[in-house]
Amino acid sequence: MKTLTTLLFTLFILTTNAQSEKYEQAMSKALESLNQATTNDDFITAANTFERISMNEKNEWLPLYYSAYANIVVCYVNPDKEQTDAILDKAQNFIDQAFKVAPKELELFVLQAFLYPARITVDPMGRGVEYMGKMNQALDEAIRLNPENPRSYYLRAITTLNMPEAFGGGAALAKPIFETAKEKFDKFRPETTLSPNWGKEQNEQELSKL
């Protein structure tokens, strides 16, 4: 009887381990495909994979994070105005769910700030003011939670660069922010191999163009 209990217990631990191993394996594989994604379809495929993982791992915010991230990227890579809002609604839904799992996670504020400018592309005239405001608020919160996170600065730099000078943007203003982001990226070490770790290359690329 004792043996049986031990056996079942071991089996249980093994299965649980197997489960978390399965999660990590699936996540690593999905991250790899996300990192290699170039086309719209690649990003949708990655987004779908993370979505599937998220449905089985209700206590993890990362699968939701990446699914939202990949969906947002789709809106930047290949903007289809008719679809953008529906895709962003979906991404926003993932972010909202992720916030329920990890309410104070600064990377989620960063991601939220990454989503807002995509909303503007649908109707720049009507939405510009509202969503720039919302984006700045999310970035301020992210920087407050951790001033060392490079992605907050990268996003601020890229939106500053893309904004016309008339609206307080332009290359001259963006450059020092890209430089700050670069310093922070150089020092940045992700918590785990699965933690968000994007933006460094894009930052270097933009900086080299200035």
Partner 1 sequence: MRKILFVLLQFLVFQLAAQVKIAGTVLDKNNEPITGANIFIQNSYDGTTSDSLGNFTFTTDLNGEQTLIISFVGYKTKGLELNISEAIHDLKIILEEDVSELNEVVINAGTFEASDKKKSVLLKPMDIALTAGANGDVYGAFGTLPGTQKVGEEGRLFVRGGEAYETKTFMDGMLVNSPYYSKMPDLPTQGRFSPLLFNGSVFSTGGYSAEYGQALSSVVALNTTALEPETKSNVSVLTVGLQGSHTHRWENTSLAVTGELLHTGLANRLFPQNVDWIKDPVIAGSTLLFRHKTSETGMIKAFGSFSYNSSDLLYDNFQESKFQDLALTNHNVYLNVTYNEMLNEKWMINSGGSLNTNNDKMVLENSPINTLKKSSQLKTVFTNFTTDKITTTFGADWIGYDYLQEIQMEGDFDLGFSNQQFSSFVESEIKINHILAIRAGLRAEYSSLIQKSNWMPRLSAAIKTGKNSQLSTAFGKFSQNPEDDYLKFSDELKPETATHSILTWQYKKGTKSFRLEVYNKKYSDLVKYKTEYSAGPGNYNNMGSGYSRGFDIFWRNQKEFGKSDYWISYSFIDSKRNYHDFNEEATPYFVSAHNLSVVYKRFIMPIRSFVSGTYSFASGRPYYNPNNPDFLSDRTKPYNDVSIGLTHILYLFNTQTVMHLIVNNIFGFDNVFGYTYSNTPDETGIYPRQAITPASKRMAVFLISFQF
Summarize as ranges the residues that interact with partner 1 (CB under 8 A): 3-4, 7, 11, 22, 26, 41, 44-45, 48-49, 51-53, 55-56, 81-83, 86-87, 90, 123-127, 129-134, 136-137, 164-168
* Shortest distance in whole angstroms from residue 109 CB to partner 1: 13
Q: Residue 90 or residue 200: which is nearer to partner 1 going by CB?
A: 90
Q: b or e along 58-87 (b: 16 or more beta carbons within 10 Å of the residue's beta carbon)?
A: eebbbbbbbbbbbbbbbbeeeeeeeebeeb
CA distances from 49 to 4, 39, 45, 67, 206 (A): 38, 16, 6, 8, 29
Instruction: Provide, rounded to whole angstroms, the least separation between the CB of residue 140 and partner 1.
Output: 9
Residue 154 to residue 20: CA distance in whole angstroms? 32
Return the number of the residue (44 or 145) whose C-beta is nearest partner 1.
44
Structural element, H or E, at residue 103: none
Query: Shortest distance, CB of residue 165 to partner 1, whole angstroms?
Result: 6
The least distance separating partner 1 from the CB of residue 177, rounded to whole angstroms, comes to: 16
